[in-house]
């Protein structure tokens, strides 16, 4: 793995470097209505979405929700309420039983095979259990996404340094996952999700199992990404954290969604 200390790439060049969450609401247009400010269609739209698993288990019940491009949404709710189910419907890991899920104007429920794989590669997905490759370094774990997309080696290098910087892990580029703390591993998983500059970041409990300082650091990274134009949809159990955030928040209980803050 060549050195990661290369120049700042254009895809992050206009980013603010501040991590102050108090300014993060400035570029967000909210999550109300099917159209974002200026009449643009919602980036994410669920209309009457119900998900039943086998054996009659209810995942989601008649959920309708629109998130505009550039929006930020917290999804809260007790364990087993349907949060991960909602996220899985967004990236096509599950299909709705009823209703329509549109992401970037694509009917996700209708995507299959190569089209679904291609669609997923355009999204940034942060999994609750990190899913890092154990025998690869931090830099390699992050670069892997780009290699898989056939991005040229010099472009991979160009993107690595600012991505590592953004998540505060420049000094850990050559470390292996088992030498990192939980918070650091979580930040690697965020870096991997954003290195291909996705328009939408879907993060499932990115602050789960983290101590308050690490959780707050992850929240600042999410806010900063949002200020850079990334639409963020994230679940959390951490109520203290979401209270510190200015962004809209929904609650899911037994598959039913309600607004806590718009």
Cβ proximity to ligand ATP, 51 vs 216, nearer residue: 51
* Residues 45-64, interacting with ligand ATP (CB under 6 A): 53-54, 57, 59
Question: Which whole-number Å values give the CA distances from 24 to 71, 167, 237, in the listed order?
Answer: 11, 16, 21
* Residues 64-103, interacting with ligand ATP (CB under 6 A): 77, 79-85
Question: To which residue do tokens 């892997």 refer?
Answer: 144
Applying CB under 5 A, does 217 fall inside the site for Mg ion?
no
Binding mask of the shown chain, residues 45 to 84, with x at each position contacting Mg ion by CB under 5 A? --------------------------------------xx
Cβ proximity to ligand ATP, 17 vs 79, nearer residue: 79
Cβ proximity to ligand ATP, 231 vs 236, nearer residue: 236
Cβ pair 111, 93 in contact under 8 A: no
Question: Which whole-number Å values give the CA distances from 4 to 14, 31, 144, 159, in the listed order?
Answer: 20, 37, 14, 9
The distance of closest approach from Cβ of residue 254 to ligand ATP in the complex, given in angstroms and rounded to an integer, is 9
Cβ pair 4, 164 in contact under 8 A: yes
Cβ proximity to ligand ATP, 136 vs 251, nearer residue: 251
Question: To which residue do tokens 């570029």 refer?
Answer: 27
Residues 230-243 as b or e (16 or more Cβ within 10 Å = b):
bbbbbbbebeebbe
Residues of this chain that interact with ligand ATP (CB under 6 A) are 53-54, 57, 59, 77, 79-85
Residues of this chain that bind Mg ion (CB under 5 A)? 83-84
């Amino acid at each position: 793995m060549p050195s990661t200390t290369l120049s700042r790439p254009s895809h992050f060049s206009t980013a603010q470097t501040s991590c102050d969450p108090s300014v993060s609401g400035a570029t967000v247009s909210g999550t109300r209505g099917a159209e974002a400010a200026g009449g643009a269609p919602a980036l994410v739209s669920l209309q009457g979405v119900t998900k039943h698993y086998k054996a009659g288990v209810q995942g989601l019940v008649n959920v309708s929700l629109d998130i505009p491009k550039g929006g930020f949404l917290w999804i809260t709710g007790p364990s087993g309420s349907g949060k991960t189910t909602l996220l899985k419907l967004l990236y096509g890991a599950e299909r709705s039983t009823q209703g329509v899920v549109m992401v970037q104007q694509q009917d996700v429920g209708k995507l299959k095979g190569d089209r679904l794989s291609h669609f997923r590669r355009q999204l940034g997905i942060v999994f609750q259990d990190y899913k890092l490759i154990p025998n690869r370094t931090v830099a390699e774990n992050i670069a892997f996404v780009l290699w898989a997309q056939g991005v040229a080696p010099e472009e991979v290098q160009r993107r690595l340094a600012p991505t590592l910087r953004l998540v505060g892990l420049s000094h850990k580029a050559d470390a292996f996952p088992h030498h990192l703390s939980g918070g650091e591993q979580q930040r690697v998983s965020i870096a991997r999700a954003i290195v291909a500059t996705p328009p939408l970041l879907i993060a499932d409990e990115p602050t789960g199992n983290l101590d308050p300082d690490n959780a707050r650091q992850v929240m600042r990274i999410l806010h900063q990404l949002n200020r850079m134009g990334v639409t963020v949809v994230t679940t959390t159990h951490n109520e203290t954290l979401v209270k510190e955030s200015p962004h809209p928040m929904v609650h899911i209980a037994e598959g039913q969604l309600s607004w806590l803050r718009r």
